[in-house]
């Protein structure tokens, strides 16, 4: 299984690479929790890659935290990190820029469009993300290019994107946590003994290794689980 590297990707082909932002709110995020079709225009050259854990806090709630990578307390407990990607995009339905987070399933399909000579750079056409959990885990998300509104975004949209990226630093949401941050969020004070080879192993989306999310109520401030 591949390793994950945190940081900004230079393009849709790579999976490695490297500010604090101003105020933001939940309207700056697109949650794709519900089944449906989401019409977007990618607004950045490449997404940020990172990994998350779902751990259970002392009150029995499932809490989401970014992985701490080397020496991660949750990796040491064999709580495998889930790879995630986040990118700024124009939400056509809302008419505004938002951060969109997705997993490997969506990422791979955008990469395939990027490689397709008939489509190329996803900043030059809209994409439709069709989420339908009835299709099963391996086919929940279907990403298609939309054959209209093709070409660069308008000057007004470009200004909207520029203003958003000046205010909301995408990289901040893909930063590694520290073990102190992880334990504080879970209300714990100790790290379990390290397990050999537990660090930095990825898993398929929706695999049983993330079962803590199903087993507990999700804390209110953890609703940025867009997938």
Residue-wise pLDDT tens digits, 75-92: 999 999 999 999 999 999
pLDDT tens, 164-201?
999 998 998 999 999 999 999 999 877 555 444 344 33
Tokens of 189: 């004070």
Closest C-alpha to 57, from 199, 224, 220, 208: 220
The pLDDT of residue 184: 92
Q: Are 94 and 31 in contact (CB under 8 A)?
A: no
The candidate with the shortest Cα–Cα distance to 142, out of 100, 117, 113, is: 113
**What is residue 226's predicted lDDT score, i.e. its pLDDT?**
34
Give percent of the chain above pLDDT 70: 73
Q: What are the tens digits of pLDDT across the range 129-146?
A: 999 999 999 999 999 999
| C-alpha separations of 89 from 3, 38, 165, 215 in Å | 26, 11, 10, 32
Each residue of 16-29: pLDDT tens digit?
433 334 456 788 99
Please determine, for residue 216, whether its predicted confidence score (pLDDT) is greater than 80.
no
Q: How confident is the model at residue 6 (pLDDT cuts 50, 70, 90)?
A: low
78 has which bridge partners?
A: none
Looking at per-residue pLDDT, the higher value among 216 and 150 belongs to: 150
Q: Which residues contact 73 (CB under 8 A, 6 or more apart)?
A: 179, 182, 183, 191, 192
Contact 141, 130 (CB under 8 A): yes
pLDDT at 70: 85
Assign 9 a pLDDT band (cuts: 50, 70, 90). low
DSSP characters for 63-95? EEEE---TT-HHHHTT---EEEEEEEEEETTTT
What are the tens digits of pLDDT across the range 21-50?
Answer: 445 678 899 989 999 999 999 999 989 999
* pLDDT (0 to 100) of residue 194: 47
Q: Are 88 and 160 a contacting pair, CB within 8 Å?
A: no
For 104-117, the pLDDT digits (tens) are 999 999 999 999 99
Q: How confident is the model at residue 12 (pLDDT cuts 50, 70, 90)?
A: low
Contact assessment for residue 175 and residue 67, using Cβ atoms and an 8 Å cutoff: no
Which is nearest to 206 in space by CA: 136, 128, 135, 107?
A: 136
Inform me whether the pLDDT recorded for 206 exceeds 50.
no
Distance CA 31, CA 189 (A): 32
Sign of CA pseudo-dihedral 222, 66, 164, 40: negative
Count of Cβ atoms closer than 10 Å to residue 33 Cβ: 10
Cβ proximity of 199 and 76 under 8 Å: yes
pLDDT of residue 205: 40
């Amino acid at each position: 299984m591949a390793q994950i590297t945190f940081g900004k990707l230079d393009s849709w082909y790579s999976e490695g690479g490297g500010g604090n932002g101003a105020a933001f709110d939940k309207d700056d995020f697109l949650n794709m929790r519900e089944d449906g079709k989401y019409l977007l225009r990618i607004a950045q050259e490449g997404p940020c890659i990172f990994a998350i854990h779902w751990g259970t806090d002392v009150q029995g709630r499932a809490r989401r935290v970014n992985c701490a990578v080397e020496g991660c307390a949750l990796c040491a407990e064999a709580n495998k990190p889930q790879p995630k990607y986040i990118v700024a995009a124009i939400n056509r339905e809302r008419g505004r820029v938002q951060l969109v987070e997705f997993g490997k399933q969506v990422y791979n399909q955008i990469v395939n469009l990027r490689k397709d000579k008939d489509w190329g750079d996803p900043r030059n056409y809209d994409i439709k993300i069709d989420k339908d959990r009835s299709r099963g885990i391996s086919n929940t998300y279907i990403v298609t290019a939309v054959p209209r509104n093709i070409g660069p975004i308008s000057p007004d949209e470009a200004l909207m994107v520029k203003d958003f990226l000046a205010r909301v630093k995408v990289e901040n949401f893909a930063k590694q946590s520290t073990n102190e941050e992880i334990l504080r969020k879970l209300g714990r004070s100790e790290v379990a003994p390290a397990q050999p080879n537990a660090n930095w192993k990825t898993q398929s989306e929706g695999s049983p290794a993330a079962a803590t999310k199903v087993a507990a109520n999700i804390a209110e401030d953890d609703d940025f689980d867009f997938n």
